[in-house]
C-alpha cells in the first residue's frame, strides 16, 4: 500500500519537475505542485507556528519563495524534501521574529496556559492540538523541527536528514530528547485535567 503511494508520489514529482523546467509550462507545473504539496506543507508549518493565521502567512511566503527559486532546484534531493526545507526555514524565521516581538515572559505564559487547561473538563481534537502545540513550543528549534517531522509527519530519518542537513544519528538523539520533554510536559498538564 505504502509502496504504491510512494511510486505515485515519485511519478507526480517527476511530472511537476518536467513542467517547471519549461518556461511555457511553469505556471501549470506550479499549480500542480501546490495541489500536490500545499496541504502537507500547511500541516508541517502549522505544527511549528501554531495558529492557522500564522501558518497561512508562512505557507504563502513559502510557496512564493518556491516559485521564485524553482530554477535553482538542481534535483540533488527529492522535490518534497526541498520544499520541506524551505517551509521549515520560513517557519523558524517567523518564530524567531515572533519571539523577538513578544515581550511577555514565556514562563508566565506557560503557567497561564496550564491554568486555562485546568478549567476545561475534556480534551477534544482542537484541545489536543493546542496542548501539543504548547508542548512543542517549549522545545529548541532543532528539536522542535525533528519532533514535528517525525511525530506528526512520520517522516523517515533519511528524509529528515536531507531536509535539515544533519546526520541520522544526531536526528535520533534530538528526537529522543524532544520526545522526553513533550511527554514530561503532558504529564504535568495531566495533573490539572
Partner 1 sequence: MKKKAWHKELKEQAPRLAKLKEKKLRPDLPDGYFSDLEKRVLRRLNEEQSMSLNSNQQRRLPLYSVLQWVAAVVLLAAIATWIYTHRKVENLQEASLTSEEVESYILEHLDEFDEGILVEQADKLSSDWTVLPSESTDPFENVSDEELNGYLDSLLDDIDETTLENLL
Q: Does 52 bind partner 1 (CB under 8 A)?
A: yes
Q: Build a one-symbol-per-residue string for 65-84: x at contacts with partner 1 by CB under 8 A, - elsewhere.
A: --x-----------------
Binding segment (CB under 8 A) for partner 1, from list 79-87, 90-98, 103-111, 182-190 = 182-190
Least Cβ distance, residue 125 to partner 1 (angstroms) = 5
Q: Does 57 bind partner 1 (CB under 8 A)?
A: no
Question: Which residue in the set 39, 98, 105, 120 belongs to the binding site for partner 1 (CB under 8 A)?
Answer: 39
Q: Please work out the total of residues on this chain that contact partner 1, with binding judged by CB under 8 A.
A: 33
Question: Which residue in the set 129, 166, 173, 177 belongs to the binding site for partner 1 (CB under 8 A)?
Answer: 129
Q: Does 23 bind partner 1 (CB under 8 A)?
A: no
Q: Does 111 bind partner 1 (CB under 8 A)?
A: no
Of the pair 22, 183, the CB lying nearest partner 1 is at: 183
Instruction: For the beta carbon of residue 37, count every other beta carbon within 10 angstroms.
Output: 23
Q: In this structure, are residues 136 and 47 in contact, taking their beta carbons and an 8 Å threshold?
A: yes
Can you say whether the dihedral through the CA atoms of 164, 170, 172, 176 is positive or negative? Answer: negative
Question: Which residue in the set 85, 110, 151, 177 belongs to the binding site for partner 1 (CB under 8 A)?
Answer: 151
Grid coordinates given for 88: 521549515
Q: In this structure, are residues 142 and 174 in contact, taking their beta carbons and an 8 Å threshold?
A: yes
CA 61 to chain CA mean position, Å = 14
Q: In this structure, are residues 133 and 95 in contact, taking their beta carbons and an 8 Å threshold?
A: no
Helices (H), the chain: 2-21, 26-49, 52-69, 79-101, 106-119, 125-137, 141-147, 157-164, 168-190
Binding segment (CB under 8 A) for partner 1, from list 71-79, 92-100, 110-118, 179-187 = 179-187
DSSP string, 159-191: HHHHHHT--HHHHHHHHHHHHHHHHHHHHHHHT
Question: Which residue in the set 14, 168, 190, 193 belongs to the binding site for partner 1 (CB under 8 A)?
Answer: 190
Q: How far apart, in whole angstroms, are the C-alpha atoms of residue 72 and residue 187?
A: 45
Residues that bind partner 1 (CB under 8 A): 2, 27, 31, 34-35, 38-39, 42-43, 52, 56, 59-60, 63-64, 67, 125-126, 128-129, 132, 151-152, 154, 156, 176, 179-180, 182-183, 186-187, 190
Amino acid at each position: 500500500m505504502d509502496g504504491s503511494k510512494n511510486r505515485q508520489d515519485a511519478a507526480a514529482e517527476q511530472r511537476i519537475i518536467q513542467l517547471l523546467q519549461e518556461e511555457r509550462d511553469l505556471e501549470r507545473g506550479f499549480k500542480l505542485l501546490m495541489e500536490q504539496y500545499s496541504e502537507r506543507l500547511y500541516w508541517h508549518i502549522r505544527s511549528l507556528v501554531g495558529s492557522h493565521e500564522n501558518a497561512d502567512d508562512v505557507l504563502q511566503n513559502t510557496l512564493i519563495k518556491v516559485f521564485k527559486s524553482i530554477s535553482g532546484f538542481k534535483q540533488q534531493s527529492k522535490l518534497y524534501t526541498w520544499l520541506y526545507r524551505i517551509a521549515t526555514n520560513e517557519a523558524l524565521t517567523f518564530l524567531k521574529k515572533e519571539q523577538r516581538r513578544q515581550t511577555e515572559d514565556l514562563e508566565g505564559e506557560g503557567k497561564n496556559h496550564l491554568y486555562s487547561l485546568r478549567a476545561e473538563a475534556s480534551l477534544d481534537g482542537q484541545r489536543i492540538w493546542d496542548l501539543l502545540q504548547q508542548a512543542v513550543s517549549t522545545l529548541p528549534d532543532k528539536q522542535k523541527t525533528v519532533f514535528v517531522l517525525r511525530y506528526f509527519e512520520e517522516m523517515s530519518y533519511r528524509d529528515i536528514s536531507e531536509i535539515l542537513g544533519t546526520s541520522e544519528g544526531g536526528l535520533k538523539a534530538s528526537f529522543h530528547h524532544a520526545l522526553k520533554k513533550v511527554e514530561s510536559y503532558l504529564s504535568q498538564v495531566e495533573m490539572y485535567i
